[in-house]
Structure 1
Amino acid sequence: MKTKIIFTIVALSSTFLFSQKRVADIFFENFSYVKAAELYKETVKRGDSSMHVLTRLGDSYYNNSDTENAALWYALALKKYDKINPEYIYKYIQTQRSMGNFEEADKWLVQFKDIQNDDSRVDELRASNIALYESLKNREGLDVKTVNLDINTPYSDFGPYVFDNRFYFASAQNTENAIYSWNNEPFLDIYAADIKPMNDGMDSISNPIQIDFKGKDRKNVHEASVAITADGKTMYFTRYNVNKKNRAVYDKQGTSNLNIYRATKKDNGNWGDIIELPFNGVNFSTGHPALSPDNKTLYFVSDREGGYGQTDIYRVSIDGDTYGTPENLGPKVNTEGREMFPFVAKDNTLYFSSDGFLNLGLLDIFKTDVLNDANANVQNLGAPYNSGFDDFAYYINNDTQKGYFSSNRPNGKGSDDIYGFIAQPCKQVITGTVRDLKLLTPLSNATVQLIDETGKIVAETTSTENGLYEFDANCNQKYTVLGMKADYKDDKKDVQTTNVTDEKQTADLNLTPLINDNEIVINPIFFDFDKWDIRADAAYELENIVSVMRAHPNMVIKIESHTDSRGSDSYNLKLSDRRAKSTQQYLYSRGIATERIESAIGYGETQLVNECSNGVKCSKEKHQENRRSKFIILSGAN
């Protein structure tokens, strides 16, 4: 007898172990991570520390942004199992970085790289250039508004730069200048224009005035590409290599190379005292100056010997009037092709143009964090900054996300035009009303969560007095909106945002009330034929009973189990009673005190709700109406 009792307990324990894990899975798959974590932890306590359970526990916390608890369970999984999906290693690395444990993160990063290098996806990564190329045509996630500036002319206009609310650029618009035979346009001058904010967030550029460097020969000299020091007293710019008479100097091949010059601002506001920088040369070009945010480094472009390609980006230190030795930025930036037009933003990001990296055609604009991280990679900015034509001379204000770039793309006003832009994350609004499904009345104070495609909860809010909720969401994303409220069953809706900024997506949520008069009403719970074990799908429904009783700590209920008329009366009575008591035991196992369940009784087929009694032919659906469990509230509902 004792052996039989022990066997029964062990069997029952095993059943509950399996049941809880499956129920936890159902909650996890429905984004109920708190409930899933609770059930997974109980499963661990009962002896199941499988990889599935440990990693699901980690994910339950990770998706709720609880990195500390996520790290705990991921660490246990990584310690216990040698072969594990590398995605869990990656998530563990992320949790360590989040908590500042960089040494631990780096340790696992080595293993992650080793595993991924042996991964079959390596071939896919090699082939991903095609997909990357396609993605460059239309960068998702950003709403970038661009405009062709009013100051553009039928000639070449490029090289935008902003300082002290003045807009500097190069232009060939002065038809009094000599004609440059390369493009049959006048030689370039540097201009300064007014900047005026507009209501649409863009800036209006107007009233360009040519900067007059005294003593310049107007016949055959280009001037372009400006960089100004933070104190506003020094300007670096590009000019043809000239002699003391300001005449262009040509090398043996008949080329007048570019040089960088320095000008000083005078008390009257004019620029003068032009000085050629010491690292220029007669037989190579040096141009396109750009300053670091602290003004201690000057970046430039040159085709001098010792580079990696046709033109490379270099840097040189500045100490007052003294300049260091030019240093090539190396193969992380420079290629066998052309690297040109560097610009260093306020956040120390390096932007430049190149035709040596994966691009849409000709020069594209790229960015890199190489000035902060020597191992940083180069990233193509994609459309709309880049096109199949030359795109170059990028400038951005990190604070306003406004900027400019130059391009010779079609439908411009001249050979090169300057485009203004303002970049903002492409956002949409997901909104809806939370209602009581039975009464169709709005539900206030319901919890609503926005869940991304990976299952991570990215935002949470509560419904208003009128049942309304609203989320800001990214464009071109798949989301799930989940609504919850005490005494109600959850409801969720899938939402797909588009690529149209500020468009609204509607997802109304209808929560099913669990309390109906004096009864807790859930979906039917099913048992296997001739069985009374609690299946996972039944346990999932019974968790609604658990939630209601937890929300009402003084509630007392009784359980009734009913069958249809098929089978003998005595058999149905016994079977329903066993199922009622099995249901009672499940609630006990979930922490519901014994005194809160007054009784659990099976009534067999003695309380049918329709005409389908013995001998009456009925459909499966009609018989189903009689197979039910009832949870009647005796007290404590308020």
Structure 2
Amino acid sequence: MDVAKKIIPVLLVSFLGMVFCYAQGKKKSKGDDLFFQYEYQKAIYAYEAEMASGTLTEQQFLNLADSYFQTNKFEKASEAYLELFKKDTLMGGHHLNKMLQSLSKTANKERRTAFMTTMSSRFQKELLENMEFNVQLLQNDAAEPGMDYRIFNLMGNSPQTDFAPAFYKNQLLFSSGRVQTKRNTYAPGNEGYFNIYQSQLGADGQISSVQPFREVTDSDYHKATPFYSEELSSILYVLSNTENGNLAFDTNGKNALAIGKQAIGGSFQLLLKDLSTSFYYPFYDGASGKLYFSANFDGGYGGTDLYFVYTNNGQIMSAPINLGPRVNSPGNEIAPFVFENSFYFASDVFYGLGGMDIYKSNMEGDGFGIPINLGKGINSPDDDFGLIMRNEGEGLLGYFASNRPGGKGKDDLYGFKVDEKPGLKTLTFKGKVVKSVAGSGTVDKAVIRLMDTDGELLAETYSDEEGNYRLEIPWKEEVVLESTKERYSVFSKQFTEEELQKLENTTYDIGIALYDDLVEEKEGQKVVKLKKFFFDKNDVKLTAEIEAELDKVVAFAKNFPSAQLRIETYTDSRGGSSTNFRLTQARSDAIKRYLIQQGVPQATILYSIGYGEDKILNNCTNGVFCLEMLHQQNQRSLIVVLNDNVLFDY
């Protein structure tokens, strides 16, 4: 079964089929009528006949491309989408995703890669990062054995559509299109309106005693995708919009799905309703009070996106908030589920294994990590969606829906047991790149790299306008983190496994130094920026004040190890000339010894020179009376950067 026949569409297939019969409007062609009734194969025959005898509009040609896609004629679909793409009309992100899916399902994967390379500017940065990560991940998954999933088809499946499992105390709820009475059938799905069913759970994970769930308000139309919230003691689910017991339509003749909350043993409350917007798959996170769901709002990233609203004990307290491009794609995202700080959902984004695949994203405060395809086993070349799980014994028990071969119906429920939480463990570095010296501030456009201990690049990114960065890779026991920017120092640190474990779910700020913050122009040469310091009279001993300033030189040499330094020391004109030369030379040598003791390589300090009173800066020469403050202007030590003019030549 294709995506357009499940809850984004399975639920829509029914009433959208009726919608276009119900709505009054512009006369359509035979192909249009069949297309909007989801009779895709018949629509193909009609559109092709109309194309042979005349010209299809661009919208009708797009409908033909979609019909090819829905009937698994991916070669023809890709060619039609590409033809439309060349005209640069009608092809939004959602149809670009279908085009790329079509290319992936044919022998044209290289063509897809070439297309992505040339058109990368049209895609969100996060989408490209997600794609690169998952392509590499699935290649590794194909080469290595995955997790040991013990997957089984549920005996309670029917020949119709069964999907959207949910735990309810010691039972399993799910949605089904199984026919109960002729009154509850509809076209074109040729099955019953979706209803919620309950079943007993056995110790082996199988279900029994399947019967309609009586805790929700009765309806002649759709009730589906239940979620039981223990905190709210309520069932959340989607239902057809109705008025006075009949389907309710918007001004365009469209019927959509709402989200309702049924208190167990209590009253019903409508939570989210818009006659022109369908809502799907509610999930209430009791820890945060957020109600997650899928919806097809205008202005999203693709078909259906994932959203949340803040609630107060289940009462809606905010407008819907899109989860953003790290989670949402040009495709369809549905079925959110939170388990142990991981966010699971299904997506038909083009770089997966098949139609709908299940992904896991680490929850990072209000953000999300890269969604990770769960790989073979849970996912297949067909549609897999609606995953739930819980701890059971020494492992995990979970369920999902799939239309993979070997099932009993259109979509079947599957159970699985596994020893550990599904999803590859990843390593995430995130935080800010900041200036490490000369005051606070962030650094934008700095490169950040993760490498293995052999120097092989694992991932690379750049900090944004506010200095933020984020890198995520499959788990490594040891990595090297590096960062730099032109005229900045290079940060480099190797992390052990123990250090990486401590970094989980925390931020890590990277400090790099701007060269121009650390140097200044003095006496016609570039010197390390220091506060002026003085030796005691006729003394060469370094005071604590002097050492504090020299520590800045130590940091400078560490930040810029290629710098070549010369130490210059001067005195005033008082005293004998030869005595002053010896005194300043001893002071320069004392400075050099301290710097080397603090870790500055000896090769970095090319010279340490005492100039005595050779370079007097004012009129305080021999025999001239001057105030002490004027004499002190001539007492100075400079750390000169000899290769300043070539230090950043690459």
With the shorter chain as reference, the TM-score category is: 0.3 to 0.5
Give 1 or 2 for the bigger CA radius of gyration.
Answer: 1
Give me the TM-score of the superposition, normalised by structure 1: 0.43
TM-score, normalising length from structure 2?
0.42
